[in-house]
Amino acid sequence: MSEPIRRLDDRPRTRATFEDPAAAESVRGFEGESSIPWLGLLVVLALSVGLQARGPIVEAQERPPNDDDPFNQGRPKTKVPNGTILVKGAWSSASDALTPLPEGGSIANNKYANPYFGLTYPLPLDWLQKFEGPPPSESGRYVLAQITPTDTYKGPSRGNILITAQDMFFTPLPGANALALVQYTKDNLPADYQVEPKPPEAKIAGRSFASLAYWSPVAGLHWYLLATQIRCHTVELVLTSRDPRLLESLTQHMNNMKLPEEASPTAGTGGGAVPICSKDYARDENLIARVDPVFTEHRPNPVPVRIIIDKEGRVKHIHFLSAFPDQARAITEALKQWRFRPCLRNGQPVEVETGIMFGPAASPAR
Amino acid sequence: MRAHKLFSVCMFVAALLVAGAASPQTDPGVQAANRGTGAALPSVLADDNPGILAFFQNGQKRFQDVESVSNSPTGNNGLGPRFNSISCVSCHAQPAVGGTGAAVNPQFQFTSNGTAPNDSTPFFITANGPTREARFPFFFNPDGTANLNAPNGGVEDLFTVTGRPDAGTCRLGQPSFAIAAAANNIIFRIPTPTFGAGLIENLDDSTLLSNLAANLANNFGIAGAFNRNGNDGTITRFGWKAQNKSLHIFAGEAYNVEMGISNLLFTQERPLPGEDQFQRGFPSNCLNLAGTGYPEDNSNPAAPTQAAVLDDVSAFANFMRTLAPPAPGGVVLNGVPVSATSIANGHALFRAIGCATCHNPTVGTTQPSSTTGSLSAAPVNAYSDIELHHMGTGLADNVSQGAAGGDQFRTAPLWGLGQRIFLLHDGRARNLLKAIAAHDSPGSEADITIDNFQFNLTPSQQQDILNFLRSL
């Protein structure tokens, strides 16, 4: 494996610039195409020796490659695929492909569905997701969906809908729940915005949401933020538009959402069909056995990890929000050996979901 | 009367045509006025730390020295055996020494002016295109296809010293950029500007961390991270992926990788990645071409002045560290000055729609400086949070550097943008609108912000933002 070095007697890959036709033949020979008869080969070799002595013939300007370039003839055109991120930094991964993940939502039949959060949201007519968002951040921030009007949208005004989730186990921001996070947002709103008078709570699809409305007088843009908590994540719906009536209409349309029973600005800690979620559950009093991961490489990035502990106290699922592959392997090997005391609720063992930050802690809040 | 009416109608139509010709969303373009960019910091000009002005001037002069392989008439030896250019200023020149790539690309002349007499000009180097370096994201299979299991990403120097009279018998081939392009396995980088770099260097990590935390409550879907150096774990900040810790390392790496001059930080000759990792490095007749031993750049204990005692890399770093940040200025659009109101409005809109979450107007204040007073307790108005952000498949280059993956880039500081010609990490854009649109692609943290710019602002507001950007 190497990069291809053009040898001193290499010739540019176009026919027209060769001073010596035999040199052109020697190029095709270098490409593996054996089209030169043996006598011609002797001539080529003799000339090549002569050429070496004079130095290479090079074109003043290397031509860009194209489909007619003889260099590519007869060879499979294996290219680095466009539009694909093959070399990644710390990224999200999980120990299995079956357990739903926060970032595992998708849009099909004009509906956003997220099995992890138990959330479905029929999109407004002629609104779709143009592009998926970025991967989860090391601070536990997710972009679940980015929804905008399509080209066929005929409404009088435009806007966008951003659905995010913040893992409350890993946020460096103060606040224990969705309500506190919205309050923090309000209290720290930059001077570019003004809060608009709206009730601090809203009812969407029968569930309570913390809400915040603000606008930018300079831009003439309005934002409506609706937040609830599900499985210890603050799930936020951010509506943006120049037209407050559109925001009202989008908010009304959100009553078509389906949400889990636990969704609430101050609760939302799992239970029922999903594990209960508990912050800092992996502390000594709950652990029977613990093994530290042995990292093969020294890396300074924090690695936020969510685990699900089964009723017997074993780690049954691991979700890396942001980790390099070697970090994920080392942590997985360690977590396989952890043993928890079974978590009891009303005297019955239950599954627990919790978060552990490996490596340096996430950035502290101001 | 009829003639009067006809004249009025014609004038009205003409006015409409003129107004239409000046499209409301027009990049004002590179601003030509002299904004004083390239000068030293005020305290350096005052020589507050005696000798610091001499360091600046000496470093600025050396930044412009043309390097030779050997027998340099000015004593600047050590170029090659592989290189991208022959002086710092040849890449860092716009609008002044220490800046970005100039309008006329000096690399285009190298194969015809004796700099690289036996080489071919790579196809992506043109007379008036961006000054560039190239990298192959992946190593190659023997058949010329890319091996997607073997990430590369290192700089593939464009030129060799082959055939130069000062290069002895060293003969090397260039990488085949045509093969790389055929495999879609080539990316480019353009020079980053260095004005104000000392301010960025003198930000404490705590300032950057606090800024990150303060912006986490944004409602644009943005959440960055820092690149960190492997030695002490602290935040790195220079380069397109914030891969370099300090200006000394930035200068030392560039001197070695871009010009082939080994130095006190990078002490060996630097072959191509494949030559060094899968072959046997350079042949012996390509080593020590300057005849001075290694490293080729070193301190000069016998030099007559204190500034001259320094090695080149220290001189370059001192120069960059004491360069004043670019000053904002007025904007001219189609020959007409843009109003201050438009620029101020654009600044406010830039903040309102989400751009400032990453392109932070003032990331914080520097810590006390032992170099010079202007670097102490100074606001860093770089329009960058110095964080890495996911920029989507459209900008991804599949090159990882430190913690930065193939789709992550440092928020490019926008100070000085008004006088930059080539935009984005590879110089693919000259127009601000194109550069802005490139922020919008699958997996980008900027998607919602770009949607706000493109669809939730009026044309007049969009123009205000463009005017503001060119005022920087």
Short-list A222, A278, A226, CA closest to A119: A226
Q: What is the average per-residue pLDDT within B197-211?
A: 97
Q: What is the average per-residue pLDDT within A318-327?
A: 97
Q: Over the stretch A114-137, which tens digit does the pLDDT of each residue have? A: 999 999 999 999 999 999 999 999
Q: Look at the block and give the residue holding tokens 């592989």.
A: B82
pLDDT recorded at residue A175:
86
Q: What is the average per-residue pLDDT within B381-394?
A: 98
Q: Is the per-residue pLDDT at A14 higher than 80?
A: no
Q: Is the per-residue pLDDT at A8 higher than 70?
A: no
- Best B176, B285, B342 member to test A by mutation, with max A CBs in 10 Å, is B176
Q: What is the average per-residue pLDDT within A157-177?
A: 95
Is the CB of A283 inside 8 Å of chain B's CB atoms?
Answer: no
| Two structure tokens written together for B85 | 């250019």
Residue B291: DSSP 8-state? S
| A143, A148, A173: residue with CB nearest B451 | A148
Residues of A in contact with B121 (CB under 8 A): 60-62
Q: What is the average per-residue pLDDT within B226-241?
A: 95
| % of chain A beyond a pLDDT of 70 | 77
- Write the single-letter amino acid at B94: Q
| B175, B212, B352: residue with CB nearest A221 | B352
pLDDT recorded at residue A48:
40
Q: Is B114 left (phi over 0), alpha (psi -120 to 50) or beta?
A: left
Partner B, chain A 22-51, Cβ-Cβ below 8 Å: 32
Short-list A308, A313, A314, CA closest to A355: A308
| B217, B220, B445: residue with CB nearest A184 | B217
**Closest approach of chain B CAs to the CA of A217, in angstroms?**
9
Short-list A317, A294, A315, CA closest to A95: A317
Report the predicted TM-score, pTM, of the whole model to 2 decimal places.
Answer: 0.89
Residues of B in contact with A146 (CB under 8 A): 221, 447-448, 451
Q: Over the stretch B240-291, which tens digit does the pLDDT of each residue have? A: 999 999 999 999 999 999 999 999 999 999 999 999 988 899 999 999 999 9
In whole angstroms, what is the distance from residue B140 CA to residue B245 CA? 30
| % of chain A beyond a pLDDT of 90 | 72
Confidence of residue A143 (pLDDT cuts 50, 70, 90): very high
**Pick the residue with more confidence: B311 or A21?**
B311
Q: Over the stretch B137-161, which tens digit does the pLDDT of each residue have? A: 999 998 889 999 999 999 999 999 9
Q: Is the per-residue pLDDT at A31 higher than 60?
A: no
| B369 touches B43 (CB < 8 A) | no
pLDDT recorded at residue B70:
97
In whole angstroms, what is the distance from residue A119 CA to residue B83 CA? 56
**Lowest-confidence segment of A26-35, B20-29, B308-317, B461-470 by average pLDDT:** A26-35
In whole angstroms, what is the distance from residue B44 CA to residue B54 CA? 9
| A131 touches A294 (CB < 8 A) | no
pLDDT recorded at residue A3:
54
Q: Is the per-residue pLDDT at A72 higher than 80?
A: no
Q: What is the average per-residue pLDDT within A270-290?
A: 94
Asked if B345 and A75 come within 8 Å (Cβ–Cβ), the reply is no
Short-list B128, B134, B55, B64, CA closest to B93: B64
pLDDT recorded at residue A73:
45
Is the CB of A135 inside 8 Å of chain B's CB atoms?
Answer: yes
Asked if B123 and A8 come within 8 Å (Cβ–Cβ), the reply is no
In whole angstroms, what is the distance from residue A168 CA to residue A188 CA? 18
Q: At B94, give phi and psi (nearest 5°).
A: -110, 125
Residue B432: DSSP 8-state? H
Q: Over the stretch B415-428, which tens digit does the pLDDT of each residue have? A: 999 999 999 999 99
Residue A95: DSSP 8-state? S
pLDDT recorded at residue B277:
87
In whole angstroms, what is the distance from residue A298 CA to residue A327 CA? 9
Find the distance separating the first CA and the last CA of chain A, reported in whole Å: 49
Give Dmax over CA atoms of chain A in angstroms: 92
Residue A98: DSSP 8-state? S
- Best A52, A72, A73, A85 member to test B by mutation, with max B CBs in 10 Å, is A85
| B420 touches B100 (CB < 8 A) | yes
pLDDT recorded at residue B11:
52
Is the CB of A343 inside 8 Å of chain B's CB atoms?
Answer: no
* Closest residue, chain B, to A366 (C-alpha): B210
Contacts of A60 (CB under 8 A, 6+ apart): B111, B112, B120, B121
Residues of A in contact with B175 (CB under 8 A): 3-6
Beta bridge partner(s), residue A111: A108, A122
| B451 touches B425 (CB < 8 A) | no
Confidence of residue B6 (pLDDT cuts 50, 70, 90): low
**Pick the residue with more confidence: B301 or A175?**
B301
**Lowest-confidence segment of A197-206, A224-233, B260-269 by average pLDDT:** A197-206
- Sheet containing A111-114: order of strands: A106-108, A111-114, A119-122
pLDDT recorded at residue A103:
98
- What is the interface pTM, i.e. ipTM, of the complex? 0.91
Asked if B184 and A82 come within 8 Å (Cβ–Cβ), the reply is yes
pLDDT recorded at residue B368:
98
| % of chain B beyond a pLDDT of 70 | 95
Residues of A in contact with B279 (CB under 8 A): 2
In whole angstroms, what is the distance from residue B342 CA to residue B344 CA? 5
Task: Residue A155: count other Cβ atoms within 10 Å of its Cβ.
Answer: 14
Pairing status of strand B332-333 against strand A194-195: unpaired
Find the distance separating the first CA and the last CA of chain B, reported in whole Å: 51
Asked if B214 and A188 come within 8 Å (Cβ–Cβ), the reply is yes
Q: Over the stretch A331-355, which tens digit does the pLDDT of each residue have? A: 999 999 999 999 999 999 999 999 9
Measured CA distances, A233 to A156, A165, A167 (Å) = 34, 6, 5
Pairing status of strand A315-323 against strand A303-309: antiparallel
| % of chain B beyond a pLDDT of 90 | 92
pLDDT recorded at residue A33:
32
Is the CB of A77 inside 8 Å of chain B's CB atoms?
Answer: yes
Asked if B185 and A55 come within 8 Å (Cβ–Cβ), the reply is no
| A182 touches A212 (CB < 8 A) | yes
pLDDT recorded at residue A362:
38
Contacts of A285 (CB under 8 A, 6+ apart): none
Residues of B in contact with A17 (CB under 8 A): none
pLDDT recorded at residue B212:
95
In whole angstroms, what is the distance from residue B123 CA to residue B296 CA? 31
Q: What is the average per-residue pLDDT within B68-72?
A: 96
Asked if B456 and A301 come within 8 Å (Cβ–Cβ), the reply is no
pLDDT recorded at residue B278:
85
Is the CB of A294 inside 8 Å of chain B's CB atoms?
Answer: no
Q: Is the per-residue pLDDT at B438 higher than 60?
A: yes
Task: Residue A270: count other Cβ atoms within 10 Å of its Cβ.
Answer: 21
Asked if B225 and A301 come within 8 Å (Cβ–Cβ), the reply is yes
Looking at every residue in chain A, the average pLDDT score rounds to: 82
| A3, A64, A89: residue with CB nearest B136 | A3
Beta bridge partner(s), residue B134: B188
Q: Is the per-residue pLDDT at A149 higher than 50?
A: yes
Looking at every residue in chain B, the average pLDDT score rounds to: 94
Q: Is the per-residue pLDDT at A317 higher than 80?
A: yes
Asked if B123 and A64 come within 8 Å (Cβ–Cβ), the reply is yes
pLDDT recorded at residue B24:
56
Task: Show the DSSP H helices in B322-458 as ranges.
Answer: 340-352, 355-358, 392-395, 432-437, 447-455
Q: At A188, give phi and psi (nearest 5°).
A: -115, 25
Q: Is the per-residue pLDDT at B309 higher than 70?
A: yes
**Lowest-confidence segment of A52-66, B43-57, B397-411 by average pLDDT:** A52-66
A350, HSE (Cβ side, Cα atoms, 13 Å):
17
| B141, B172, B217: residue with CB nearest A173 | B217
| B181, B183, B212: residue with CB nearest A78 | B183
* Closest residue, chain A, to B348 (C-alpha): A218
